[in-house]
Structure 1
Amino acid sequence: MIFALIVVPVLGLFFGVHRYLWCRLIRDTTAPGGRARRAGTVAALALPLLALAALLAGRLGAPFVLQQVLAWPGYLWLALVLYLVLALLAGEAVRAVWLAVWPRVAPARRPEPAAIGAPDPAPPATSTSSPSSPSSPSSPSSPPTPTLLPPHTPALPPLPAPPRRLFVARAVAAGASLAAVATVGYGTATTLRGPRVKRVTVPLAKLPRAAHGFRIAVVSDIHLGPVLGRAHTRRIVDTINRTRPDLVAIVGDLVDGSVPDLGPAAEPLRALESRYGSYFVTGNHEYYSGAAQWVDHVRELGVHPLENARTELPGFDLAGINDLAGESEHAGPDYGRALGGRDTARAVVLLAHQPVTIHDTARHGVDLQLSGHTHGGQMWPVTYLAAATNPTVAGLARYGDTQLYVTRGAGAWGPPVRVGAPPDVTVVELASLRA
């Protein structure tokens, strides 16, 4: 029942949006019964079904090759829908103003002057007759007397007015389409170019002088799947290795799929280089495809999973907790296991995928939490929704004595598009107040 209450309105909104797009892009710009309208209507029916197929293929266990075939067009169409709707909504105002001012600025259509020397058309003949009287009845045989009118130039019928509503509809549709395609093209190029490196310094009161300058390369939300594969992983690994970090922290949402399908795509993680190794905690997406298999697999790649666990490093403790999604498998976050029995005089850095755990983290006396999950919103204006549902969307913030850093992530979920939230790998440099 609850599922139906959620799914039915979402599907209604989804197809309602496509109905609006059909009206503005197809119905208002094409002739009834024409080829363009028929082709546009077919596309308006097929594209939303393709997008739904791309979203559901993995969940329904479709072959991975089919998922890849559906993913690119299906996901890119979803991104185009977002920006087409935004552009067309802006175009509604343009349409209203344009149609209102058109009669004032459109030039009057006047008839062309008659050619010089052309004969004037013959005026119509009219007849007059003297009024009849009883003494002089009118003679039926007498013809009417014609009266000649002065020569004149007859008014030509007005030329047909241009279909201004059709012109405005086509102009708005073309402008909206161009803006949407350009935005999605830019966002796709931003994603496929790979993450850029950000650097942030975080002072920790308990950090000893010997650990001053310790550098952690934080990467999250790689999202290997039917769109982003081995080449994407290689770009991220190369970016991390160029920073020469002391430690690598992979903060969840590594994959969207199973080990048999995506194991080869994750293989480049084996080449990660750092002084104290690489560590991994689960994100919510790992639980959609089987977290246990991925924990085992990343261990085989030389990455150390921290499942509600802690390890001691020179100068501080590094801990990690499972994602909140693990609670459905009785494997959710457990602060007692991750932090219990530690020396509280030592600084502790906690890896936790979702920033919403920060309030629990602060109550356990953690010095710094490193998170991802938000993608920084990934595509404007989704950034506002991300800001409304997360304590921090991106960057460094403080909650009591605990600091939180949230990376925008290195990949993308769904559409491989990022607008206003470029992907990043962040080098967090720990600073000692005693240095």
Structure 2
Amino acid sequence: MRLPELEIKNLKVKSENLQGLQILHLSDLHINKKTKVMNIEKLVAFCNSLEYDFLALTGDIIDCKVDKIIPQLKALNSLKKVFYISGNHDLFYGIKGLKELLTNFTFLDNKTTFIKYQNRDIALAGISDRFSKFFKIKREEKKILSFLKSNEDSILLAHQPKDYSLAIASNTKLFLCGHTHGGQVFPFHYFVRLFQPFLAGIFYKKDTCIYVNRGLGTWGIDFRYKANSEITLLKLINN
């Protein structure tokens, strides 16, 4: 991961039930052996200086074997109030080792929890990546759907935009994901759209707000064109 200039992207997201909530959204860090520990430390310091209610990290944290980047991951572990789910790269390079190092984070693959906000319980759930089946990990969609449907104020984290259908089916108020890198290098955007329903940005479907984060790191080539990296602070508003 080559660290870009750290800037915050402030977005206002319409949500009647979750107004005032602030979520810092990171995705697709793709930390590898070339990633400098100093850069991770700068990222952590930058994020921790911001005001937010929780940090959503929507997958692809790593891009090599965990034992090759232990110092980088130990530095990342200093991020505050983090809930994360797996991406396809995390599964390929070792989600077990990743979980063992990120002791300060809450892992949400196929799990549910509640966040207290203004005397309300906000339901938060995560679903494991669609590549889970290749690693003999069951995606517990029925469990997640049931949980989200039974709670009026709900948020779903997933890696791929394709999983927005789970959010729609459960009347989830906010769906956060990544994976696409916003296309990373134009005109690759058009190829990504053949496989994903959304490329990047905010979309509204029924009562659900969908946000696709372009991610912070890169994959394949360490280069972006017309798809800038982003760290997004989402503030939920009433209108």
TM-score, normalised by the number of residues in structure 1: 0.51
For residues 407-422 of structure 1, the aligned pairs below 5 Å read 407-422=213-228
How is 1:24-423 mapped onto 2 (pairs within 5 angstroms)? 191-207=2-18, 212-273=19-80, 277-298=81-102, 300=103, 302-314=104-116, 315=120, 316-341=122-147, 344-423=150-229
Displacement of 1:417 in angstroms is 0.9
Which structure has more helix as a fraction of its residues?
1
2:123·2:151 contact (CA, 8 Å) conserved in 1?
A: no
Between the two structures, name the one with larger relative contact order (CA 8 Å, sep ≥ 6). Answer: 2
Q: Give 1:364 shift.
A: 2.1
In structure 2, C-alpha distance between the alignment counterparts of 1:195 and 1:322, rounded to whole Å: 28
Q: Which has the higher strand share?
A: 2
Q: Structure 2 length normalisation: TM-score?
A: 0.90
How far apart are residue 294 of structure 1 and its match? 1.3
SS at match of 1:279: strand
Distance in 1 between the 2:97 and 2:175 partners? 26
Q: Which moved more, 1:364-373 or 1:215-224?
A: 364-373
The unaligned stretches of length 5 or more in structure 1 are 1-187
- Identity rate of aligned residues, in percent? 28
CA distance in 1, matches of 2:228, 2:218: 10
**What whole-Å deviation, never above 9, does each CA across 1:45-92 have from its counterpart, x for those lacking one?**
xxxxxxxxxxxxxxxxxxxxxxxxxxxxxxxxxxxxxxxxxxxxxxxx
- Mark the structure with the bigger radius of gyration: 1
User: What are the ranges of 5 or more consecutive residues in structure 2 without an aligned counterpart?
Assistant: none
- Superposition CA RMSD, Å: 2.0
Identify if the C-alpha distance between structure 1 residues 343 and 353 changes in structure 2 by more than 3 Å, giving closer, same or farther: closer
Write the deviation string for residues 301-351 of structure 1: whole angstroms up to 9, x where unpaired: x01101211111123111111111111123243222334346735211111
Query: CA shift at 1:236, angstroms?
Result: 2.3
Contact 1:230 1:267 in 2 (8 A): no
Secondary structure, aligned partner of 1:393: coil
Query: CA-to-partner distance for each residue in 1:111-164, whole Å, 9 max, x for gaps?
Result: xxxxxxxxxxxxxxxxxxxxxxxxxxxxxxxxxxxxxxxxxxxxxxxxxxxxxx
Q: What does the per-residue CA deviation read over 1:346-397, in whole Å, with 9 as the maximum and x for residues that have no partner?
A: 2111110100111233112211110010111111221222233221111100
Residues paired across the two proteins, number = 235
Once the two structures are TM-superposed, the CA of residue 200 in structure 1 deviates from its matched residue by 1.3
- For 2:107, the aligned partner's letter is P
C-alpha separation between the residues in 2 aligned to 1:341 and 1:221?
Answer: 26
1:401-432: CA deviations, max 9, x gaps?
22210111011112211111111111111224
> Does the CA contact (< 8 Å) of 1:194 and 1:235 recur in 2?
no
Q: What are the within-5 Å matches in structure 2 for residues 2-17 of structure 1?
A: none
> SS of the counterpart of 2:232?
strand
Aligned-pair CA distance for 1:246: 1.4
8 Å CA contact 1:323–1:332 kept in 2: the answer is no
Question: AA paired with 1:313?
Answer: I
